[in-house]
Amino acid sequence: MYAMDFAQVGANIQRQLDIKGFTQQSLADALQISKQVMNKIIKGNKAINVNEIARIAEILGTTADDLLLVQDAPVSEESLNFMGSISDEGTLEKINLMRTAIDEIHMLEELLHA
């Protein structure tokens, strides 16, 4: 699921900074912006566009998807409401298997980009 606000994107950027051992200042320098502007991006107080997200991802050695995805947010049954109500145990089991597979794919992608 993709982030619905800039605060989540900022949190994802900060997470990548922490993983890579970068500082906000080093990312700001690479982007040729001030640390204050970088801080606003991290806090979600400054909108950033797709080109900026792609550039940040490139600098951090990650993907734009990694910066846009909601981290550690399990898919709830409510988010599947567009499909109608799911009451069949077999269907629920298949959905849970797909969720697990998708989570594992994301984990593998993170390991590949680490």
Two tokens at 105? 């794919």
Q: How many CA atoms lie within 13 A of 8 on its CB side?
A: 14
CB 59 within 8 A of CB 27: yes
Q: Looking at the structure, tell me whether residues 26 and 9 fall in a common domain.
A: yes
Identify the pLDDT of residue 81.
54
What's the whole-number average pLDDT of the chain? 84
Identify the pLDDT of residue 31.
95
Q: Looking at the structure, tell me whether residues 65 and 112 fall in a common domain.
A: no
CA distance 52 to 10: 12
What's the one-letter identity of residue 32?
A: Q
Q: Looking at the structure, tell me whether residues 18 and 60 fall in a common domain.
A: yes
Residue 91 confidence (pLDDT) above 90: no
CATH of the domain at 47: 1.10.260.40
Domain that holds residue 24: 1-71
Based on the structure, what is the number of domains in the chain?
Answer: 2
Which has the higher per-residue pLDDT, 67 or 71?
A: 67
| C-alpha pair distances (Å), 49 with each of 21, 45, 72, 73, 109 | 24, 13, 23, 23, 23
Identify the pLDDT of residue 88.
78
Q: Looking at the structure, tell me whether residues 38 and 86 fall in a common domain.
A: no
